Amino acid sequence: MAEDITLIIMAAGIGSRYGGLKQVDPVGPNGEIVIDYSIFDALQAGFNQVVFIIRPELEEVFHAKIGQKVARQVGIEYVYQSLTDLPPGYLPTEGRQKPWGTGHAVWSCRKAVHTPFAAINADDFYGRSTFTAVADYLRGLSSLQHGQESVIECCLAGFHLGNTLSEYGAVARGVCQVSGDGYLAGIRERTHIQREGERARWHEGDEEPAYLPLETTVSMNLWGFTPLIFQALQEQFALFLDKNAGNLSKIEFYLPEAVNALIQQQRARAKVLPTNEKWFGVTYPDDRPAVQAAIRQLISQGVYPEDLWE
C-alpha cells in the first residue's frame, strides 16, 4: 500500500503586485487555474490528500473555483491562517491585517496534517517531474514522521534561476547555497531579480547591484517535510515574535528563513532536489497571457488533457 503524502497549498496571501486574487484567475481552456495544474501533477506523483491554507473570507470562492472539482479526485481540507493563531503565551498584535507569512502558514496545519507533506505556493507552476521527485523523497521519509529524531529531515526543489524569471518585472527568489553532497547549506531571499542578458541582476535597498548566473539554484517555495517540523516552526515563530516585538504590524515569518535557522543550528537538513522544469506564474498582469500560452502548449504535447478534471 502506498504511503499517504499530503500537499499543502499556501493561498492565504494577497497578490499585491497583481492587484487582485490572482490565485483564482483562470489560465486553462476550461477555466482551470494554476492550482488545478499543481494538484493534477501532485496526484499523478502520488499525493493523496490536499490541504488549502486560506483566509476565512476566501473559502466560498475557493470552494466554487476548485473545491467542488478537486473533491471528486482527492480528499481536501481547509485550514484558516488566522492572525490570532499564536504560540501559547502570545497575544494578537493590535492593528495587524496581513497574514503572518509562509512559516506561520505551514505551522497552521499542525492539527490537520499527520503524514509527510509538501508545501507550495498557490500561484506558481512547478512541473510534473518536480512533484514526482519530492513525492519519492517524502515516501522515503515516512518512517521518520514520529518520534524525536535529532535532525529533522526535509527537502527542497531546486530550480535554475534562469527558468524562474518573469519577462515583465522583477521577482523575489530564495538563492540557495548547496553543499557538495546536495544538501542546503544556506538560503537567502533576494528581491528585485531581473534577467539582464546571459545573467540576472538584483538589487535591494541601498545595496550595490550584483549579478547572479542563470544556473544559480533557487527556491520557488516547494518544500517537503514530516510532521516533526511543526514543533520546530512553533519554536522559531516564538523567537521571531520576541525578536520583533516592537515591529509586528507588517513583518512576516517566512518559511525559508525558519528552515535556514534550523539548518544553521544543525537541527535540520534539507536535501536539494534539482529540477529542470520551467516555472511560470502570475506575478504581474502581463504574465497571464504567457501562462495561458504555456498551458496550451503543454496540452498540445499531451502533458495535460484539454479538460483537466473530466
**SS3 state of residue 301:** coil
Condensed to tens digits (0 to 9), the pLDDT of residues 60-74 reads: 877 777 778 888 889
The answer, yes or no, to whether residue 148 has pLDDT greater than 60, is no
Beta strands in the chain (DSSP E): 6-10, 49-54, 75-80, 117-121, 124-125, 152-160, 171-178, 184-196, 199-202, 210-213, 217-225, 268-275, 280-281
The answer, yes or no, to whether residue 297 has pLDDT greater than 60, is yes
Architecture of the structural domain at 6-300: Alpha-Beta Complex (3.90)
What CA–CA distance (Å, rounded) separates 185 from 31? 41
Condensed to tens digits (0 to 9), the pLDDT of residues 170-194 reads: 999 999 999 999 999 999 988 899 9
What CA–CA distance (Å, rounded) separates 269 from 155? 8
Q: Who contacts 174 (Cβ-Cβ below 8 Å, separation ≥6)?
A: 187, 188, 189, 190, 218, 219, 220, 221, 256
Tell me if 113 sits within 8 A of 8, measured CB to CB: yes
- Each domain of the chain, given as residue ranges in start order, spans 6-300
Condensed to tens digits (0 to 9), the pLDDT of residues 15-32 reads: 444 344 545 578 899 988
What does the mean pLDDT of the chain come to?
A: 89
Name the amino acid, one letter, at 105. Answer: A
Q: Answer yes or no: pTM beyond 0.75.
A: yes
